[in-house]
Amino acid sequence: MSNKAELSGVVCAAVTPVDAAYRINVAALAAHCDRVLSDGCSFVSVFGTTGEGASFSTGEKAEALAALIAAGIPADRQVPAIMTPVLTEAADMLAAAEAQGCRAALVLPPFYYTDPGDPAIVAFIDAMIDRSGASDIDLVLYNIPRFSRISFTPALVEALLHRFGGRIVGIKDSTGDLENSLTLVRNFPDLAIFTGDDRVMPALRVAGGAGMIGGMPNLFAADAVRILGAPTSQETEALRTASAQRIELVDGNGGLSAIKAILARAYDDPEWTRLVPPLSATPKPAVDAILAGLAKTGYALEPVA
């Protein structure tokens, strides 16, 4: 583990551009990942919730991951997500992430069956690792019960650590609940605890958290990096306030569809607005209203070459 980069900082949960046939546009994704890394993100996490990861097959994602690395996005700065309840698909994605040399994999629990119980979740991850043949890649647990309906509670995390030891290196807590994130920090000081929420990040960082894995760095990576570096300073006080307002504005108006719509304007490329059905694009009047609201936080839309 000592030869691996520290797992901390701002991790951009990248959105996924697609073509008219809903195929992953690797060239556009690579250019976007390069930009957010250049803006200070420590890592990128492709094919998570913000990246519509549940809308693509493992084959599509594994192929795109390899192409993304070939296009110049370093594997050791990637934490791709595993977003499937299908054991073989999850194992294949884990195998692909390790084969490409990715820093870690972000693992969503199997989300179809209601309340399978902690032993069953441990069994799924055990079988995923065994079937994948992946023996080295680190795992970050993805706690987003709003979608998965399964929580990585302290008891479940303890069970996973007992079974897998050092393979579990972190948790992304996307509950948006500061106290839940702080509980994870207190209970698991050796794990990298991330939030998915800009509003939680400063207090989490002060308490010893690792940073954030979230969607807003698609738009505001440099600002998030500044806040992480000075989570309580007067220098970033206005920026922290603006960051909280921005996530409320974007998440309240479509979340990832709003992010894609803003990127479409910034990149002067309307194809960025496209989402894989059943998700749909944010209407233009709503995008105009979002941009007007963002302007009040000090954000000025500037075209990106």
Binding-site sequence positions? 50, 213
| Choice among 142, 260, 267, 299 that is catalytic | 142
What gap in Å lies between CA 166 and CA 191, rounded to an integer? 9
Which residues does residue 44 pair with via DSSP β-bridges, in sequence order?
A: 12, 78
What gap in Å lies between CA 297 and CA 239, rounded to an integer? 9
Residue 82, CA distances (Å) to 42, 65, 139, 184 in order: 20, 12, 10, 21
What gap in Å lies between CA 112 and CA 114, rounded to an integer? 6
| Choice among 172, 260, 267, 299 that is catalytic | 172
Assess whether 296 carries a catalytic annotation: no
What gap in Å lies between CA 170 and CA 232, rounded to an integer? 24
Q: Which tokens sit at 270? A: 């309307």
Output the known binding site for pyruvate. 50, 213
Q: Which tokens sit at 256? A: 């990832």
What gap in Å lies between CA 47 and CA 81, rounded to an integer? 6
Assess whether 4 carries a catalytic annotation: no
DSSP letter for 110, please.
Answer: P
**Strand order across the 211-214 sheet:** 43-45, 9-13, 211-214, 192-195, 168-173, 138-143, 104-107, 81-82
Residue positions annotated with a catalytic role: 142, 172
